[in-house]
Structure formats: structure tokens, C-alpha cells
Amino acid sequence: MVGGQLIAGILAPRAFRDTPHKFKIRSQLSGPQASEESSLKIRGIYRWIRDPFLLSGIVIIWLTPFMTVNLLVIYLLTTIYLYLESLHWKSRLVV
């Protein structure tokens, strides 16, 4: 289980490299600019999953080597909340 947590923790930063535009605050605050290309380029880990940060967090919490009833309840509620939040976020992206 700890090995799975380590793998998720190591692979999560790859998402930063796959989306360099997502974390450039200065360019986001400057407003819309003329894009180099009009097509959306999806590359790296985003070809397989929508939000690798969310997935890696869920993998890390569920692969905890010890489980108590309190942790189980917290993990279930957290997972349900994150799932519902992602559905809400997806519905707000639809134009």
C-alpha cells in the first residue's frame, strides 16, 4: 500500500509538466490573447484521465496502510464529496 502511495505521489507532479499553461498566473490575469493554434492539444497524462491531481489524492488516501472506522468514514465522505464536486465543475464548464 505504501508503494502504491509512493507511485501516485511520484506520478502526480507529471501533470504539472503536461499542462504548462495551467499554472502561469501572469498570462491568465492578462486576459484573452491570440492563440497560436485554435485546436486544443491534450497531451501526457491528460489523455487518459481528466484530473490527475484528484485521482492521485484519492489513491493516496485509500491506500493508507492502516484503516480504522473513523478513517473509513472520512475517506468515504471525502471521496463522495470530490466526486460530486467534479460533476458540479463539469456541469459549469458546459457552455
pLDDT of amino acid 72? 93
For the stretch 80-90, pLDDT in tens is 998 888 888 77
Mean pLDDT of all residues in 55-78: 90
Query: 68 in helix, strand or coil?
Result: coil
Task: Categorize the per-residue pLDDT at 41 as very low, low, confident or very high, splitting at 50, 70 and 90.
Answer: low
Reported pTM? 0.58
Q: What whole-number distance in Å separates Cα of residue 65 and Cα of residue 76? A: 16
Segment 29-45 shows an average pLDDT of 60
What's the distance, Cα to Cα, between the start and end of the chain in Å?
A: 41
pLDDT > 60? residue 31: no
Place of cell 508503494: 3
